[in-house]
Amino acid sequence: MASKTAYKRLTKEYKHIQDEPPPYITAHPLESNILEWVYLIEGPPDTPYAGGQYWGTLVFPPDYPFKPPAIRMMTPSGRFQTSTRLCLSISDFHPKSFNPAWEVSTILTGLLSFMTSEEMTTGSISANLGQRKQLAAMSRWWNSTGGGSGSGGGGKIGFGDGGARFRTDWPEVDKDNWQWMRDHRINPQNGRVMTAGSLIATKTEDADSQEKQKAGRTVVAERASQSWLSRNKIMIATAIIVAWVAIGRVFQHDVTSS
């Protein structure tokens, strides 16, 4: 639970970051817990992350601002390990170096600055330029699908959850991402652009499915239009034969007895 000081400070900082958002950065606290924030970084131009959408969390201690938050990035970037606490001078790895005058906007600006550098630390990785650009191009898809339906990742946030956490934290952004995927013909299963062949196959499958459904509805309609007698004539004929045999046996028994 947040202390009074932390609650007051974070409430003030939320208003400030709404009124004056830092370049390429959006952030807000969770409704259920003011100590946990989510952020969204837009990859700056002229960087390997241009056009990318990077989602992460800040978890503040109850005695903030006297101690720094834990910082994680969920979206694969080629710069940080996903869902891993990052060792930065502005994170909980270095509480003694944290300045209480720093705000959420300061922390996230520092994170973005570190992200666009090549300095290494705990939680950082060194992917090549092409890999980072590819991950940036797939970041919207990854956020809103959790990496596709077949992804795994040891239960870490964002992996294999179908994008549920992102959808909860960023509902409007998630809607925009799905529209973006439709506009760019992105396959939600794997994040790749659907080719003309795959689109034709999909349409063919849809057409076949519709024909099967139509045929099924026709059979049902035809059966419904038939009378009960015509639909059950075999059963009725069988019952008549069984009854006739039974009557014959009874008559034969009466003749024998007499």
| SS3 category, 37 | strand
3-state secondary structure at position 38: strand
Q: What three-state secondary structure class fits 158?
A: coil
CA 74/CA 82 separation, integer angstroms: 5
Q: Is there a catalytic annotation at residue 87?
A: yes
The residues that bridge with 59 in the sheet, in sequence order, are 36, 70
Start-to-end CA distance of the chain, whole Å, equals 100
Contacts of 189 (CB under 8 A, 6+ apart): 148, 149, 150
- Cα distance between residue 143 and residue 76, in whole Å: 9
Sort strands 25-30 and 33-42 into parallel, antiparallel or unpaired: antiparallel
Locate 208 and state its tokens. 């076949």
Three-state DSSP at 8 gives helix
Of 50, 59, 70, 87, the catalytic one is 87
| DSSP label of 20 | S
- Please name the residue that has the structure tokens 């797939």: 138
Type of residue found at 250: V
Q: Residue 193: what are its φ and ψ, rounded to 5°?
A: -70, 130
* Catalytic (active-site) positions: 87
